[in-house]
Structure 1
């Protein structure tokens, strides 16, 4: 069952719009529960779906080991690193009034 869900999620997150909605939902949850780890793992899911962390490292010119650490859920990326990762997904940070 988990394999089926994982395969479905990877297929779902290949699309830029659905990946954006997935990350937005994770970010919205962060605003509620302050669980940064969940947002970082959501970023990892999108990275896996869109070619893997190795591909992301190549696209962003960031160190692959550093990316794995960031996306482990325990990472604490800088704003520059986060925007670089999002840009590789074709996304950007956008603010909204609370």
Structure 2
């Protein structure tokens, strides 16, 4: 009897703001803009792309395009999507392996 498999979809597991924040934080650690765009798309799908697009002041199609695998959203789009999702970017010092020069 063959085993039935289903594609894994991260959006199905992002139910709470804490889960979403942890997911986005892990993605940001990778320092990969394309991965961030993809992750924002996953989170937007989890929350409802139409509602996120409306709150971000974008069309649904524009948001799908910007946050797709080949998309390259502008910082303004990233910020508006994060705001629509109820999140914001913050900055903290990167951990360094070398001691700082005095």
Taking structure 2 as the reference length, the TM-score comes to 0.76
1:74 alignment partner, SS class:
coil
1:2 alignment partner, SS class:
coil
1:55 corresponding residue in structure 2: 51
CA distance in 2, matches of 1:24, 1:83: 15
CA distance in 1, matches of 2:84, 2:29: 21
Which runs of no fewer than 5 residues in structure 1 stay unpaired?
Answer: none
Are the aligned partners of 1:36 and 1:73 in contact in 2 as well (CA < 8 Å)? no
1:25 corresponding residue in structure 2: 26
CA distance in 2, matches of 1:13, 1:38: 16
1:64 corresponding residue in structure 2: 60
Q: Give the alignment partner of residue 82 of structure 2, picking from 76, 83, 86.
A: 86
Greater Cα radius of gyration, structure 1 or 2: 2
CA distance in 1, matches of 2:12, 2:65: 24
1:2 corresponding residue in structure 2: 6
Taking structure 1 as the reference length, the TM-score comes to 0.79
More helix per residue = 1
